[in-house]
Amino acid sequence: MNLNVLQKAFGTCIFCFLIFACKKAGSVEDKSQPPVTVERFNINAKLVTPNPSPEANKLYQFLRENYGKKILSGVMTLNSFDETNWLKANTGKEPAIIGLDFMHCNRGYTWYDDKTPIKDAKSYWLRNGIPVMVWHWRDPLRTTEEFYSNKTTFDISKINDPQSAEYKAMLNDIDYVAGLLKELQKDNVPVIWRPLHEAAGTWFWWGAKGAAPCKKLYQLMYDRMVNYHKLNNLIWVWTREPNDDAWYPGDEYVDIVGRDIYKQGDHTSQLAEFNALTSLYGNKKMVTISECGSMPDVDNLTKDAAAWSWFMPWYGDFVRSGTNNSLDLWKKMFASNYVITLDEMPSLKNQ
């Protein structure tokens, strides 16, 4: 199947720091399965993490209970609350989910506070919002500040050699991020955790050497975070690319399957993608639009019964430019009874 790649626009951060752009797949993964109806869902009742925190379990059960009934709104941010504030100012509402990134953490940047993502996650959670966290993981050896496979030669295949500098560097970075996530655990904040995203696209170093080392790294990260660091506040998401069966870490490591869809101006429900993923994972994993350029129109979602758990447009022009999502569409989405916004979120705290 041909893979049409869409590269995100670059943005400029403080001190003229060049912000990343993710490449995206635009192909539809249609396995020619029959239409999926809500009655067919048999979503796993438990998280893959043993003895999850009460808050993580409450959050997962909330997602599970709303699956097929409503969709949660989300937005990715670059700087603290930039897009949620813009949406509030222009629509009167904010999304239920905020997207955050560990991209700048543990790099020694003098202009950046490494605690920013966890501070933002806690702040939104205290307002009943849901943090979704991703990690654009820069070269662990620090020979570059890059994560794209065409800009760094970092060799993930060294995951097979525990004595290698690369292995030790990856482990050190995992331990650092685990420490940040542990601070959220201490504050009773659950996190929807989406590591090693879009791996099979091969545009990131974690996908550059094929399925086996990436799969092993994901499993190592899970083991290190859950069993060694005793993190129990994470809901684990695998971000699928077309035809990445060999990359999938396994049902025992994944709670939810995400799909990043970038098709400018396409506000369809992405029903073919939804049906294919639902069937592929045996109707047992919730599936979600973990990133998108143009979000699906709520009318199409309800008409097609495409029961994605949430949608999350990327930051910047993907949120604010009418070529991707018009302000009228944002207002329509946020006004719909089918779309959950921040003001409609219940408290999922363990009270």
Give the catalytic positions in this structure. Answer: 198, 291
Instruction: Determine the Cα–Cα distance for residues 176 and 107; give it in Å rounded to an integer.
Output: 11
Q: Count CB atoms within 10 A of the CB of residue 94.
A: 25
Burial of 16 (0-12, 13-18, 19+ CB in 10 A): exposed
Which secondary-structure segment (H or E) carries 240? Answer: strand 234-240
Residues with Cβ within 8 Å of 298's Cβ and at least 6 positions away in sequence, in order, are: 71, 332, 333, 336, 338, 339
Instruction: Determine the Cα–Cα distance for residues 324 and 264; give it in Å rounded to an integer.
Output: 6
Residues with Cβ within 8 Å of 157's Cβ and at least 6 positions away in sequence, in order, are: 209, 213
Burial of 351 (0-12, 13-18, 19+ CB in 10 A): exposed
| C-alpha closest to that of 194 among 113, 103, 278, 302 | 103
- Token pair 């049409």 is found at 4
